[in-house]
Structure 1
Amino acid sequence: MAIRRALAGSFLATSALAATFLWLSCGGPPRTPSLVVTSAAPSGESSDRPTIRIQFAQPAVDADSVGKTLDRPPALLEPGLPIEGYWVDRQTLALVPLSDLAPSTRYKVVLSGDLARRTEDFSFDFVHRPLVVEGVWGVDVKALPRRPKLPIHFNQAVNPLDVLEHCKLRNDTGTDIALVLHSSKSQGRKVVVGPDAELDQGKRYQLICSRLSGSKGPEPLAQPFHLAVATHRSAGVDSVLPGGQDVPTDELKIVIGFYTPVDADQARQHISA
């Protein structure tokens, strides 16, 4: 009986050892990088050659390596751009593109060589100068005519035909209204559009742009652009100032606001005290 127990114990121990070996040979628990990246991002994004800085939690090189341009940068910038690199300090690697980055384009930074091994193949990506809709300027978006012209401004050049495809007006019932072009078909930072049919008077709408990208890169808007707009009401008086009963009569100034634009001389002809 004792021999059986001894054999059983030996078998279990051997099985456990074999299972442990198999587990480790298949990868085992996740390895902890010997060098930890604490931050990684481009700086000076207004430049088309932004400096990319990678910060480590502890010194990664000796002091003699600091401030010198590296013969071979320990990183790649994809897709396929040449870079040079240097150590700002013992914990900060700087990478500088040697050619311009394209706006609205996603790039990937991949550490290589010894740094890749020590950081468990660290990489990150970023979009250079992502497309932004800056707004609609030059019109009162809360009191639009029924056939408005909406000048949409962007932070970089866009293709107007892409704007027609990816921007629209939506009414309060969720129905989309297609847009037509009121400006040149050439690429630019301002595109003037309007609805392809008359809008309802005194109604609210949403101007929406989504999945739109700049003319020089494929990366679309990070999130859809929404702007609340409205058409003006029918003609009429909106407000009269001053209000109330206790109003001084000396040098009294009356301000009348209308729902729609009116000619001042015509308005005076129809106002009496």
Structure 2
Amino acid sequence: MSGTMARANVLGRTLCVGSVAGSLVACGVVVQQAAPALTVEVARIMMAQGGAITIQQALKLTVSVVGPILLDQLTGATGSGGAVTQVGTKAVENDWTIVVRRKVGATVQNTGYKVAYAGKVHVITNGRTIQTFEPSKKLITIDAASDTPTTVAVVDSLEQPTRSSGKFRVLAAGKYTDFDFDTDKRSGSRKGTDLHVTLGGPSGAHGAVYANHSGEGKPTLSDCVTVRPDAWTTDFGKLNMRKPYCVQTSEGRFGTFGISSTGEYSYTMWQTASSLT
């Protein structure tokens, strides 16, 4: 086989690639699925332990900071024990307000966010608490009263549309040991790849990051979009290699990735959108 990477467009086709010298470097079965019509919009509010806040926008579901808010200014807006309370208010069309209440050091901060979106939204905290809000309810309060890093995700769908999935092995170092999960391509360290594999093991590439999954089984999209901001890493030495984990690709999409005890790599990418795409 030549050094040119072959594409697998048929489900279940076995794919092997070799270097120019003919030595086998990677082999596996790739499942390539056409991108579904549904794209899940994901916006994330990531709060560091020290109080710094980072917002990752969605393409159609945008978030902006309003600033500190006094809860007594929001009649009936309360939250406790990690619960989420919705309160109806008169609001501008296509405009939501989310108030996140959390403890930072010895004080409790209430930060408001404006969400520009016309339809129903789902607010996810800790990967497990999911609340759905209809357009008639324009104010959402979240109690995240903790001094640990937190990520709150807002999505327009709870579906998990698969963009692509595959399995492969790396048998030796060579030209085709860089993997782009967004396009399902193997290459030689080109821009946009998400995983680089050497004889010393894998590592994240070009901004792609990975994170441990604390729950049972494979992580879900809800798990991955709410990974704590300090949990992402490019260093696989910090990951539990015996369990599947979350990945955010160099283009901002989310998926799950794993390495079996026999050295087989596997991944599933979801069709999500963010500011990085």
TM-score range normalised by the length of the shorter chain:
under 0.3
More helix by share: 1
More strand by share: 2
